[in-house]
Structure 1
Amino acid sequence: MRRPIAVAQSHSRLLTSGALLAAQSLLLTLPALPASADDSGPAVRGSAHMGAGVLAHEGVQGRPTGTRVAQTEGVDVSSHQGNVAWSTLWKSGVKWAYVKATEGTSYRNPYFAQQYGGSYDAGMIRGAYHFGTPDTAGGAAQADYFVDHGGAWSKDGRTLPGVLDIEYNPYGATCYGRTSSQMVSWIRDFLNRYKQRTGRHATVYTSTNWWKQCTGNYSGFGASNPLWVARYASTVGPLPAGWGFHTMWQYTSTGPTVGDHDKFNGAVDRVKALANG
């Protein structure tokens, strides 16, 4: 028997509503689509760390192959690692460490004291790094903030000069909305101010691909500033223009122990030489 028209229409609306709810429920269970390159990474300012952007953009992991040059194992850490068991790392063969101190002109690593002091107490040669954000403040202002909050240097034989971590923007546009010339000027301002404040040339941490894209492969810093190159592969690969060799190499973000793992391009006496200036 046919239903009255009004009843049939009501039943049709219920089916439609039910189908919509079912579809909405299905959508909630589906995995989120990956963010675009410019939207990837941490959403909260301050949560960036050394290599975060490199992993997102270049992320093939690898292990170093044999080399004719002695290399010394190191790690870099940030707030993501929390309180670090430094004695365990020391026993595993890690001899040097870098700790994130600051980002921009407003963020300070809440674990800095434990990480920076703890690595020193365990016997390591250690230093601090600053995650640069050229879209938030000038290079000189960020260098001042870094020096004032953990990035200073002292000639005690165990303190490495500071590092400028300049890489893919984890919060937005890859090159922070800067042209190549603007980026070079920002980096120069940071490095010059750090030298004025500490008497040491800061090390530049970057990846070759980012450097080419965002500075136009500028070659003017290699004569004075050591290079810490990020490349998650079995070899260091090509270097940014101006550097004939690297001082440090971040070779993986998934090391056998806590933190990103790195190789110093030389035996431990060369690490000490960099610390002494």
Structure 2
Amino acid sequence: MFNSLFLLFLPSTVLAAAIIELQARQLSGPQGIDVSHFQGTIDWTSVAANGISFVFIKATEGTTFLDPDFSDNYIGATDAGLIRGGYHFAHPDSSSGATQADYFLAHGGGWTADGITLPGMLDIEYNPSGDVCYGLSASAMVSWIQDFSNTYEFQTGRFPIIYTTTDWWTTCTGNSAAFANDNSLFIAHYGSSIGTIPAGWSFATFWQYADAGPNPGDQDVFNGDSTELQR
């Protein structure tokens, strides 16, 4: 999982120092955005010229929605030289994690080891139209996420990135630490500080620090340098 992958093999004393270093330089890492059809037509050449290095692009939601701008955004970002990947907005109340992972993979969420494709991102957060935890218990939610994650990893060889907020994660998974060893964390927390992150993870690999800014969509940063981002 990017920088978290090589950190797994460091001695504990070096690991602690590395984590401190990464947290200290969080906002100085490669800048990115995440977008969907809500942003409309995007001038990707201008986005790249504005210093953006990577982008997550909405591909799917549940098993019934395909983002109509996904292909144009993906091609545009690629042509502009950005590292890019797709994301899936989860609806754990509508079908299994495996079913939604398969839907995502079939519609733009795949991964290849080409140095420009980000592993797929699972956007798991507040229900936009109903119970905040989609009617699932904490244990059922953890099982759903594991089903999605394991299905994605089985088909691609990489675990998906998990995007969430600490509040939602604590409320709806019981602050589960079950994913920290395999899944990179993408935390959403607006402001100048990343705040507390969910249990198990020592740091967030990606941080969504604002919902608006000089570039389209949400404003993100990678916790590392450009070489680590490619890795």
What TM bracket, shorter-length normalisation?
A: 0.7 to 0.9
Deviation string for 1:10-63 (max 9, x for gaps)?
A: xxxxxxxxxxxxxxxxxxxxxxxxxxxxxxxxxxxxxxxxxxxxxxxxxxxxxx
Contact residue 25 and residue 224 of structure 2 kept, 8 A: no
Q: Which 5+ residue runs of structure 1 have no aligned equivalent?
A: 1-65
Query: Which residue number corresponds to residue 89 of structure 2?
Result: 131
Q: Secondary structure at the match of 1:194?
A: helix
Q: Which residue of 2 aligns with 1:268?
A: 226
Distance in 1, Cα, partners of 2:48 & 2:179: 33
- Answering whether residue 173 of structure 2 is matched by residue 218 of structure 1, we say no
Question: d(CA) in 1 for partners of 2:132 and 2:95?
Answer: 16
Structure 1 stretches of 4+ with a deviation exceeding 6 A read none
Aligned length: 208
Q: Which residue of 1 aligns with 2:196?
A: 238
Residue 166 of structure 1: CA displacement? 0.2
2:40 corresponds to which letter in structure 1? G
* One-letter identity of the residue aligned with 1:211: W
Matches within 5 A, 1:249-264: 249-264=207-222
From 25, 30, 34, the counterpart of 1:68: 25
What is the CA-CA distance between 1:67 and the residue it aligns to?
4.2
SS of corresponding position for 1:245 = coil
Q: Give, in whole Å, the separation in 2 of the partners of 1:68 and 1:75.
A: 18
Alignment of 1:109-120 (within 5 A): 109-120=67-78
Q: Which runs of 5+ in 2 are unaligned?
A: 1-22
CA RMSD of aligned residues (A): 1.1
What is the alpha-carbon distance in structure 2 between the residues aligned to residue 261 and residue 68 of structure 1? Answer: 16
CA shift digits 1:161-182 (9 cap, x unpaired)? 0000000001111000111001
1:146 and 2:95 matched = no
SS in 2 for 1:221: coil
Distance in 2 (alpha carbons) for counterparts of 1:210 and 1:225: 17
SS in 2 for 1:150: coil
Superposed displacement of residue 259, structure 1: 0.8
Q: CA–CA distance in 2 between the matches of 1:68 and 1:129?
A: 25
Partner residue of 1:172 out of 130, 151, 156: 130
